């Protein structure tokens, strides 16, 4: 007797942002269409859609973004689908904040534009490496190296 193997449902949120309120709604609709097609083709079940129409990517204080972050904390979905990283944020520090926050919550950010996704990951990795290096430098200058590295064998 064969058992049916249940496929794990990949729950996803779709996030769309259009900066200028004067832009027609076609841009937001186009983003949403791309995300829906991508989710269907790749086995994601879109359970929530968040739209920020007329909001700059330079701030995270946007109605859709606020709801998105709150719902991520509630665990309503485990994947966040975006067309490209600039839809989430326009500054590297804001992208880093979101990437870290979503990672800690177990949420995977999925970008439909794979070239943009690669650039995002490269930029974030470079930024984190720079921060880590700076933090290590400050620690060493302050004389607060970890105990094992200060211990000298005689």
**SS3 assignment, position 138:** helix
Domain of residue 92, residue span: 10-118
CATH number at residue 43: 3.40.50.1390
Does position 93 have pLDDT exceeding 80, yes or no? yes
Q: What is the mean pLDDT of the chain?
A: 82
For residue 127, is it within any domain? no
| pLDDT tens digits, 115-145 | 665 566 665 565 555 555 566 666 666 665 5
Q: Give the C-alpha distances (Å, rounded to integers) separating 126 from 96, 119, 123.
A: 11, 11, 5
Say if 109 falls within a structural domain.
yes
Residue 88 lies in a domain: yes
Does residue 101 or residue 20 have the better pLDDT? 101
Residue 69 has pLDDT above 90, yes or no: yes
Report the domain count for the chain: 1
For the chain, percent of residues with pLDDT exceeding 90? 49
Strands (E), 83-144: 108-111
| Residue 75 within any structural domain of the chain | yes
Residue 137 lies in a domain: no
- Per-residue pLDDT, 83: 92
SS3 13: strand
Q: Which of 48, 42, 93 is nearest to 69 (CA)?
A: 48
When pLDDT is averaged across residues 49-58 and rounded to a whole number, the result is 93
Q: How confident is the model at residue 9 (pLDDT cuts 50, 70, 90)?
A: confident
Domain contains 67: yes
Q: Is residue 83 one of the residues assigned to a domain?
A: yes
Q: What pLDDT, on a 0 to 100 scale, did the predictor assign at position 122?
A: 60
Q: Is residue 57 part of a domain?
A: yes
Q: Is the pLDDT of residue 19 over 70?
A: yes
């Amino acid at each position: 007797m064969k058992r049916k193997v249940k496929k794990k449902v990949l729950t996803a949120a779709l996030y769309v942002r259009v900066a200028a309120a004067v832009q027609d709604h076609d841009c937001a609709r186009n983003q949403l269409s791309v995300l829906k097609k991508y989710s269907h083709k790749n086995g994601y079940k879109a359970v929530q859609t968040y739209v920020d129409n007329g909001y700059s990517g330079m701030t995270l204080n946007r109605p859709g973004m606020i709801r998105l972050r709150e719902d991520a904390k509630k665990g309503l979905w485990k994947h966040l689908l975006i067309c490209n990283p600039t839809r989430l944020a326009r500054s590297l520090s804001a992208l880093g904040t979101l990437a870290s926050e979503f990672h800690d919550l177990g949420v995977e950010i999925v970008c439909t534009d794979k070239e943009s996704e690669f650039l995002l990951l490269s930029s974030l990795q470079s930024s984190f490496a720079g921060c880590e290096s700076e933090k290590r430098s400050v620690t060493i200058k302050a004389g607060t190296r970890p105990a094992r590295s200060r211990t000298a064998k005689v």
